[in-house]
Structure 1
Amino acid sequence: MIRIALADDHAIIRDGIRALLMGETDLQVAAEASNGRQLLELLAGNPVDVVLLDINMPEMDGHETIRQLQQHHPGVRVLVLSMLSHEEYVNRMLEAGALGYVLKNVSKAEILFAIRSVAAGRRFLCTELGVDLLHKLRGRGERQSAGEEKKSPALSRRETEVLKLIGEGFTTGEIAEKLFTSKRTIETHRQNIIEKTQVRNTAALIRYAVTQGLL
């Protein structure tokens, strides 16, 4: 049974999700909150597996809530459920620790799949956001081939391995285990990659890996 907490300041949204999940034998709404602060109070005595989290909420917004969850409830997986589709919001929430991001206009089938995917520890991006990202990457690739081609920085074999694993969604600790080295070494590789590619964050690193054919 996947225990779910709903955090959204609109009761009608919470009611709609609860109704949508009714009849799903492996899913249970175990807690509801109207903001991040209330959610954290509820989780203190009511553990859950997945939090469906809105971004814009009073008292404590979604970004700060994820930060607090990472600190106090690291085992809880977060699926952002929002109307905000801009790449900046998506990047910010995923970098904060969310495992998935879906828009509130997705179908029942997609949100159910998203919840189960995140509960299983898999990253998830809804179809609309994924298609938008692919279009942007394709457009950048076409501009590059039309005369804006940039010479790719030379990454070492190990840096390339680390970049691929980052792109596949592995954490620093998981990458260290896979490559039989320390977290500090992986962080050093990550910093070197960022400096060589001149990107700003993990999401940009993943885009770079895709455009270079590494993923």
Structure 2
Amino acid sequence: MTRILLADDHTILRDGIRALLSADADLDVVGEASNGTEVLAILETTQVDVVLMDVQMPVLDGFATVPELRQRFPEVKVLVLTMLDHENYVSRMFEAGAMGYVLKNAAISEITYAIRTVAAGNSFLCTEIGLSMLYKAVNRTSTIHPEENGAPVGAELTARELEVLKLIAEGMTNGEISDKLFTSKRTIETHRQNIIAKTQAKNTAALIKLAVSRGLIS
């Protein structure tokens, strides 16, 4: 059983996460806090394995809370759950002592996987941020210039859209892609529609042919 402390200043978000996690028999939410000061106070009297913590909180935010928490309660792991996706925030939280970083728009399957990974003493970075940082690190741009009536039409694909495109080319269904990327089927359907709209491909077959011709997939 993994004991979890939820730390977020929005009550409705904590209620939602608690409800989602309650479906997992191996995860137990043992407390809630609206800021870092409350987190530290709860840890004085409650046994916790993982603190699922937002970055932006009043009184004492995540940046200030994590170093103090790690010093006073070194056995407790911190998993950041936030909407802040810039690599600066990610690096600062890891430097502060967090062991994982996941976005609030991630699927519950990815969040629970992250909790278990961090609880086991391993680091975790959500798929969306990991891919974004990877593409920036290698300074790779993903631009398709399809032709319509002989004129090039520029359309830039995001890192996630390019990944979805590659999986489509492998013959995977929307459901299979959603399972692989730890996201919802509806999100994958949206990515597929955006890719087709950006490239102005008439159908999936035309899209794959175009991507191959541009060297985006093999």
Shorter chain as denominator, the TM-score bin is 0.5 to 0.7
* 1:115-157, Cα deviation, whole Å (9 max, x unpaired): 000000110000000110111122169xxxxxxxxxxxxxxxx
**Shift >4 Å, 4+ stretches:** none
**SS of structure 2 residue aligned to 1:139:** coil
Counterpart amino acid of 1:71? Q
Output the CA distance in 1 between the equivalents of 2:70 and 2:45. 17
Output the CA distance in 2 between the equivalents of 1:115 and 1:25. 13
Post-superposition shift, 1:98?
0.3
2:214 alignment counterpart: none
Output the CA distance in 2 between the equivalents of 1:53 and 1:117. 15
2:25 alignment counterpart: 25
1:154 alignment counterpart: none
**SS of structure 2 residue aligned to 1:85:** coil
RMSD over aligned CA atoms reads 1.2
2:120 alignment counterpart: 120
Pairing 1:72-151 to 2, within 5 Å after superposition? 72-139=72-139
1:153 alignment counterpart: none
Output the CA distance in 2 between the equivalents of 1:23 and 1:139. 41
2:167 alignment counterpart: none
The answer to whether structure 1 residue 46 and structure 2 residue 46 are counterparts is: yes
Output the CA distance in 2 between the equivalents of 1:17 and 1:115. 12
Output the CA distance in 2 between the equivalents of 1:60 and 1:47. 21
Instruction: Give the number of equivalent residue pairs.
Output: 141
TM-score of the superposition, structure 1-length normalised? 0.64
Counterpart amino acid of 1:7? A
Counterpart amino acid of 2:51? V
Output the CA distance in 2 between the equivalents of 1:20 and 1:112. 10
Segments of 5+ residues of structure 1 without an aligned counterpart are: 142-215
**SS of structure 2 residue aligned to 1:88:** helix
* 1:136-193, Cα deviation, whole Å (9 max, x unpaired): 122169xxxxxxxxxxxxxxxxxxxxxxxxxxxxxxxxxxxxxxxxxxxxxxxxxxxx
Post-superposition shift, 1:72?
0.7
More helix by share: 1
TM-score of the superposition, structure 2-length normalised? 0.63
Post-superposition shift, 1:39?
1.0
